Amino acid sequence: MSKRPENFSAAEALALAARICEVIDDAGGVNTFARLSGSKSTGTLSQYKNGITVPSVPALIRIAAASGVTLDWLATGREPKYRRDIRAAPSVTASGKKSIAAIGSITIFHPPQEKA
């Protein structure tokens, strides 16, 4: 828990507090979220929710994990919001496999070095 860092604008702090408020309220409130997240302090969660203090990175990770949102969304507001919405990397196509195989067969020539 910390006061707003110097390089963190008031607008960013308010936006972060709004996202924290959203996940806490979606869980049923501070007391319920504290139980779900394993937090020992409902007061600290309330301070995060109300923008009084900015959570540390470990606290943000715990909040994101307990609420099912991505850490990126919680910290910045960038989508996707929920971890369940993250798409798996697309599989490699047949032509992509041929390209990878071709790259693997390239021999790199190292010219002999002159003796000093």
In a domain, 93, yes or no: no
In a domain, 47, yes or no: yes
In a domain, 87, yes or no: no
In a domain, 34, yes or no: yes
Q: Tens place of pLDDT for every residue, the chain, 116 residues?
A: 456 566 778 888 899 999 999 999 999 999 999 998 888 789 999 999 998 989 999 999 999 999 999 999 999 998 888 888 776 555 556 665 555 555 555 444 556 666 66
In a domain, 94, yes or no: no
In a domain, 54, yes or no: yes
Residue 5, pLDDT score: 64
Residue 93, pLDDT score: 64
pTM, to two decimals:
0.68
Measured distance CA(58)–CA(66) in Å, rounded: 12
Domain housing 40? 10-80
Measured distance CA(27)–CA(21) in Å, rounded: 10
In a domain, 105, yes or no: no
What is the domain count for the chain?
1
In a domain, 27, yes or no: yes
The domain that contains 75 carries what CATH number? Answer: 1.10.260.40
Of 90, 35, 36, 104, give the one whose Cα is nearest residue 68: 36
